[in-house]
């Protein structure tokens, strides 16, 4: 498969990108608004072409444990779900992080809490960026704003997951999952051979195949002194990720008097608000964190030095705003505007909120 320009949903783009990246296995369970990922994979039948395994599991609990099993063998494996399903996966994600396994988890967020709605939300920010399951761990969290990024972050997520031996998450909102846009799909590359996997993942429990020692993938260590050492190793990895992998985009920040911070598709709504504001002579800039963990504290901190205030816009009650406040060391108004329960604000609504908060 060569590079190809297509019009498709964000969810479909994830499925196509997975096949083209050479993913070894997908294990998932249907839930709105992301079922197109599993549906597209089943329709594409990649087991006939690349040999990729696709399996509809009996639950999200089972899906994530299939991912754990597949990742234990050094395979590139992934799952996807939406908020309630991702809550069910938290135990398994903690095990994957603790066993230092690479894997990709996609959360196309819907409004919560509880069964909530099937409409777009960003209310799983805390869960994704602050751990989610039990124990001290982090996921590398990528927040796509376009269908193109839905496709691109599959490869990026796996690259980072394998580089650091830690699970990565694509934290998308229902908008970017469901909307259709032009997307450039990358050319397909072959899946790794068992020999390549063994070389890349000498720790993998894939069968000994003449190896002198056995490989054991486990998160269990009853000796607390060793378990603390393990935790110290995890924290060193996280520190390295924080040094190397912060990603963000800035718009109009050179001359701005005010700043908006938003992630995912909400950043695009904010950009429209900012264009309108500039027509009215109000200079607002935008920071769009691309990695929600590690978070771009330094970038926001630097821009915060020369603005009069910050508005954080999210589809939740105020979650990322806590990280923005951590980034701002001086006395600066940092406000939040959010809609909840699946409601998406339009650009004028955001601009009105901005002018009200700052009395402009």
Partner 1 sequence: MDQNQIIEQGTKVYSRPRLMDDRNMHYCPGCSHGVVHKLVSEILDEMGLEDTAVGIAPVGCAVFAYHYIDIDWVEAAHGRAPAVATAVKRLDPSRAVFTYQGDGDLAAIGTAETIHAANRGENIVIIFINNGIYGMTGGQMAPTTLEGMKTATTPYGRRVELNGYPLNITPLLAMLPGTSYVTRQSVHTAASVRKCKSALKKAFEAVMAGKGTAVVEVVSTCSSGWKMSPAKANEWMEENMFPAYPLGDLKPLE
Single residue of 68, 238, 295, 354 touching partner 1 by CB under 8 A: 68
Looking at the Cβ atoms of 68 and 234, the one nearer to partner 1 is 68
Task: Give min distance, CB of 162 to partner 1, in A.
Answer: 16
Task: Give min distance, CB of 164 to partner 1, in A.
Answer: 20
Which pair of tokens denotes residue 59?
A: 């639950």
Q: Which stretch binds partner 1 (CB under 8 A): 72-80, 107-115, 256-264, 299-307?
A: 72-80
Binding mask 270-299 for partner 1 (x = CB under 8 A): ------------------------------
Looking at the Cβ atoms of 26 and 263, the one nearer to partner 1 is 26
The contacts of residue 355 (CB under 8 Å, 6+ apart) are 282
Single residue of 33, 70, 144, 338 touching partner 1 by CB under 8 A: 70
Looking at the Cβ atoms of 51 and 333, the one nearer to partner 1 is 51
How far the first Cα of the chain sits from its last, in Å, is 53
Single residue of 75, 160, 277, 311 touching partner 1 by CB under 8 A: 75
Within a 10 A sphere around the Cβ of 139, how many other Cβ atoms? 28
CA distance 233 to 214: 22
The answer to whether 215 contacts partner 1 (rule: CB under 8 A) is yes
CA distance 19 to 6: 15
Q: Over 266-297, what HEC string results?
A: HHHHHHHHHHHHHHCCCCEEEEEECEEECCCH
The answer to whether 206 contacts partner 1 (rule: CB under 8 A) is yes
Single residue of 58, 195, 255, 331 touching partner 1 by CB under 8 A: 58
The answer to whether 201 contacts partner 1 (rule: CB under 8 A) is no
Q: For residue 359, how many C-alpha atoms fall within 13 Å in the half-sphere facing its CB?
A: 2
Task: Give min distance, CB of 286 to partner 1, in A.
Answer: 41
Q: Which stretch binds partner 1 (CB under 8 A): 204-212, 287-295, 303-311, 315-323?
A: 204-212
The answer to whether 194 contacts partner 1 (rule: CB under 8 A) is yes
Q: Which stretch binds partner 1 (CB under 8 A): 13-21, 153-161, 218-226, 298-306?
A: 218-226
What's the residue count for the chain?
360
Single residue of 34, 35, 73, 127 touching partner 1 by CB under 8 A: 73
The contacts of residue 81 (CB under 8 Å, 6+ apart) are 28, 29, 31, 34, 60, 63, 88, 89, 105, 106, 107, 108
3-class SS at 149? Answer: helix
Looking at the Cβ atoms of 63 and 253, the one nearer to partner 1 is 63
Single residue of 25, 112, 120, 174 touching partner 1 by CB under 8 A: 25
Strand partners, 287: 250, 261
CA distance 327 to 292: 13
Task: Give min distance, CB of 134 to partner 1, in A.
Answer: 11
Residues 236/100, Cβ–Cβ less than 8 Å: no
CA distance 27 to 357: 45
CB-count burial class (<10 Å; 0-12, 13-18, 19+) for 208:
exposed
- Beta strands 53-56 and 25-28 are parallel
- Residues of this chain that interact with partner 1 (CB under 8 A) are 24-25, 27, 53, 55, 57-59, 61-63, 65-70, 72-73, 75, 77, 91-92, 95, 99, 194, 205-210, 214-220
């Amino acid at each position: 498969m060569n590079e190809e320009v297509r019009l498709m949903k964000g969810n479909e783009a994830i499925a196509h990108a997975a096949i083209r990246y050479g993913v070894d296995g997908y294990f998932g369970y249907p839930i709105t608004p992301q079922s197109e990922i599993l549906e597209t994979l089943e329709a594409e039948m990649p087991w006939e072409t690349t040999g990729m395994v696709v399996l509809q599991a009996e639950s999200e609990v089972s899906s994530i444990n299939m991912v754990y099993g597949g990742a234990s063998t050094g395979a590139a494996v992934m799952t996807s779900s939406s908020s309630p399903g991702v809550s069910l996966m938290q135990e398994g994600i903690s095990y994957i992080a603790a066993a230092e396994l690479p894997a990709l988890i996609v959360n196309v967020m819907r409004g919560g809490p509880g069964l909530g709605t099937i409409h777009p939300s960003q209310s799983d920010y805390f869960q994704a960026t602050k751990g989610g399951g039990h124990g001290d761990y982090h996921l590398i969290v990528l927040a796509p704003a376009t269908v193109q990024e839905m496709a691109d972050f599959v490869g990026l997520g796996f690259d980072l997951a394998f580089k650091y031996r830690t699970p990565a998450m694509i934290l998308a909102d229902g908008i970017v999952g469901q909307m259709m846009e032009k997307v450039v799909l990358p050319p397909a590359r072959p899946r790794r051979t068992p020999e390549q996997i063994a070389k890349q993942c000498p720790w993998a429990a894939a069968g000994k195949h003449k190896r002198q020692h056995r490989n054991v993938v486990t998160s269990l260590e009853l000796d607390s002194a060793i378990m603390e050492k393990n935790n110290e190793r995890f924290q060193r990895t996280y520190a390295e990720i924080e040094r190397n992998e912060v990603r963000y985009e800035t718009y109009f920040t050179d001359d701005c008097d005010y700043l908006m911070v938003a992630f995912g598709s909400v950043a695009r709504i904010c950009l429209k608000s900012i264009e309108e504001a500039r027509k009215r002579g109000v200079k607002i800039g935008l920071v769009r964190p691309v990695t929600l963990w590690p978070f771009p504290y330094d970038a926001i901190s630097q821009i915060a030095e020369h603005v009069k205030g910050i508005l954080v816009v999210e589809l939740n009650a105020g979650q990322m705003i806590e990280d923005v406040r951590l980034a701002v060391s001086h006395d600066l108004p940092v406000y939040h505007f959010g809609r909840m329960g699946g409601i998406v604000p339009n650009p004028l609504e955001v601009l009105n909120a901005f002018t009200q908060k700052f009395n402009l």
